[in-house]
Structure 1
């Protein structure tokens, strides 16, 4: 019993709450021609980042996904 060692407890880092960028700015439409904004929500390989990573609300994630798909279709983004 005396030989048992306990690992020191780690302090958890303060996790910052994710806030929807589009809700803050009261965006009504995400434009598919604005490639700079769309690229922030995509990986380098061209995949759409999920909500749990970006913090975007469900409504805006759907608008964002359709905008990215349209931009891909006309070759504005990879």
Structure 2
């Protein structure tokens, strides 16, 4: 049996290349929230640290404006 090497693809941050981050864009923010309305971690989403901080602030701001649910 020959063992094949599996290569992991490096995740690229979506916000670094193309998307802009806005707290009013609910469809984009909902991709980074799970079914229990918790913010997903960086490992799952593939967002860089800089944009993860901005993303969490945008989600919190959208929650305060009642655009996203708390639970």
Question: TM (normalized to structure 2)?
Answer: 0.81
Q: What SS class does the counterpart of residue 67 from structure 2 fall into?
A: coil
Would you say 1:51 and 2:42 are equivalent positions? Answer: yes
**How many pairs align?**
69
Which has more radius of gyration? 1
CA distances 1:4-31 after superposition (whole Å, capped 9, x unpaired): xxxx9x867543321100111174xx21
Matches of 1:67 and 1:39 in 2, distance apart? Answer: 11
Q: What SS class does the counterpart of residue 45 from structure 1 fall into?
A: coil
Corresponding residue for 2:63? 72
Instruction: Show structure 2 runs of 5+ residues with no match.
Output: none
Q: Let me know the Cα RMSD of the aligned residues.
A: 2.0
User: Displacement of 1:44 after TM fit?
Assistant: 1.1
